[in-house]
Amino acid sequence: MRVTPLDSWMNGITGGETQGLQEYQLDKLRSTLKTAQNSSYYRAAYPPRIDSLADINNLPMIDAAVLRERGTELVCLPQSEISDIVSLLTSGSTGRPKRVFFTKEDRELTLSYFAHGLCTITDTGETAAILLPCTRPGGVGDLISQALERIGVTPVRYGTVADLADCANTLCEHNVSALIGAPVQLLALARYCRAADASPNVKRALLCTDRIPYVARRELNNIWGCEVYEHYGTTETGYLGAIDCDAHDGYHICENDLLIEIVDKDGASLPDGVYGELVFTTLTRRGMPLIRYRTGDITKLIPGMCKCGSRIRRIAPVSGRLGGSISMKCGAQLSIGDFDEELLSMSCISDFTLLAAPEDNRLSIDVEVQQSIGSTSADEIARKLRRSGIVEGLALSVKVATLPDTLTQRSGKRLIVVQK
């Protein structure tokens, strides 16, 4: 078993040992607070210095609402030094988008992180397909492509999967050995390849950008015999975050730029091993540092050293989001994760959307089926959900659309839409 490739890179930056890392993080946090005094928002509420890492608990937190409503007040450099601005809507929101500002140095850090992290799933001389948006310069797909080139890997900038046959042919034509993409899309692609007797040489897959269902990990391994890795990151972190290793026992955190805390609903710090909300502080950003940013993602810090031999701290796979479940009037609690495991376990289903009307106890499900993979009926799906118990007490409506081996393109993370 290899030590995570991030280990030597991060240790060379931070000093490696626990004391060296803590000294590094405190030094960078002090620099961040000093830089933050150039921001009108931070200057009014944050001190220019703290004495110890423990003092971070005394600093205020920010969240998506602050980023959305007062984001420009968090910027600490003139616009001439900002190289990239990313706008994104909060999941389920149609209001003002969040805007995150990056410098050239921020993007270089992301490239370096990607280059070292991607060594987990691919080797020099191989070919890796990027099944994520690749057209926007500085976007996640573009940065992954640049990072792969740095480590001597040929990138195939395919983009999100729309035509399953075309994507399968591309993987075979380019002898792709590694895939990077969204879990549900890769799951549908693998099932299509099995049904169509297409045999791409996929050895490893990295799942990212959305919640990762267990069924996706299991099926990719069963169909392709590939090893499946996972990554956690957000636009707010500059796509940095934490990545799986060969031990598959949590995700190693990019600790040279992210100081991670886990807090309870009141914002109090929780010990390792206890689930709570992930809060991060960027340590090296000068353009738009984010100090104690509440992500809404639920996870825990894993105690102890990883089985791979690295001392880099790890987080567990995200188990959900604050407010991510929908409370129905009858008392039922609906979460996208529960439906993922039930519906995606049916091999013919490639995706689905959920529309909930909590006051009326109604749930509508639109299911997509690929014509080459198999078929099902609305009644069969409804019976399966009734047996599972997750729709108990609800008026359930199921519609099935059979698609000609194409995937519907969606923006943002998959979630339950609430009917107002």
Bridge partners of 262?
278
User: 362-400 pLDDT, tens per residue?
Assistant: 999 999 999 888 899 999 999 999 999 999 999 999 999
Segment 171-199 mean pLDDT:
96
148 with 226, same domain: the answer is yes
**Cα 306 from Cα 130, distance rounded (Å):** 28
Q: 31 lies in a domain?
A: yes
Helix (H) or strand (E) holding 9: helix 6-14
pLDDT at residue 90 is higher than 70: no
pLDDT-derived band at 89 (thresholds 50, 70, 90) equals low
Q: How many CB atoms lie within 10 A of CB 76?
A: 24
Q: What is the pLDDT of residue 326?
A: 92
85 with 127, same domain: the answer is no
Least confident window among 88-102, 176-190, 354-368: 88-102
Segment 262-272 mean pLDDT:
94
Q: What is the mean pLDDT of the chain?
A: 94
Segment 395-420 mean pLDDT:
90
**Cα 132 from Cα 337, distance rounded (Å):** 22
250 with 391, same domain: the answer is no
- Domain at 406, CATH number: 3.30.300
pLDDT-derived band at 92 (thresholds 50, 70, 90) equals very low
pLDDT at residue 15 is higher than 90: no
176 with 35, same domain: the answer is no
Segment 179-201 mean pLDDT:
96
Q: Are 354 and 365 in contact (CB under 8 A)?
A: yes
pLDDT at residue 91 is higher than 70: no
113 with 227, same domain: the answer is yes
Q: What is the pLDDT of residue 94?
A: 53
197 with 253, same domain: the answer is no
Q: 257 lies in a domain?
A: yes
pLDDT at residue 24 is higher than 60: yes
Q: 177 lies in a domain?
A: yes
Q: What is the pLDDT of residue 323?
A: 81
CA-CA-CA-CA dihedral for 113, 119, 121, 123, to nearest 10: 150
Q: What is the pLDDT of residue 16?
A: 73
113 with 228, same domain: the answer is yes
258 with 209, same domain: the answer is no
User: Domain boundary at 321, 347, 371, which?
Assistant: 321
Q: 248 lies in a domain?
A: yes
Q: 378 lies in a domain?
A: yes
In angstroms and rounded to an integer, the radius of gyration of the C-alpha atoms of the chain is 22
87 with 119, same domain: the answer is no
pLDDT at residue 18 is higher than 80: no
Q: 383 lies in a domain?
A: yes
114 with 226, same domain: the answer is yes
- Domain at 174, CATH number: 3.40.50.12780
Q: Which of 197, 201, 237, 230 is nearest to 214 (CA)?
A: 230
Domain coverage including residue 284: 6-102+234-321
User: 325-346 pLDDT, tens per residue?
Assistant: 899 999 999 999 999 999 999 9
pLDDT-derived band at 93 (thresholds 50, 70, 90) equals very low
Q: 154 lies in a domain?
A: yes
Segment 201-219 mean pLDDT:
95
Q: 1 lies in a domain?
A: no
User: 278-298 pLDDT, tens per residue?
Assistant: 999 999 999 999 999 999 999
% the chain with pLDDT above 70: 98
User: Domain boundary at 275, 301, 321, which?
Assistant: 321
> Looking at the 3D structure of the chain, how many domains does it have?
3
User: 36-75 pLDDT, tens per residue?
Assistant: 999 999 999 999 999 999 999 999 999 999 999 999 999 9
129 with 228, same domain: the answer is yes
User: Domain boundary at 301, 321, 341, which?
Assistant: 321
186 with 214, same domain: the answer is yes
Burial category of 164 from C-beta neighbours within 10 Å (exposed 0-12, middle 13-18, buried 19 and up): buried
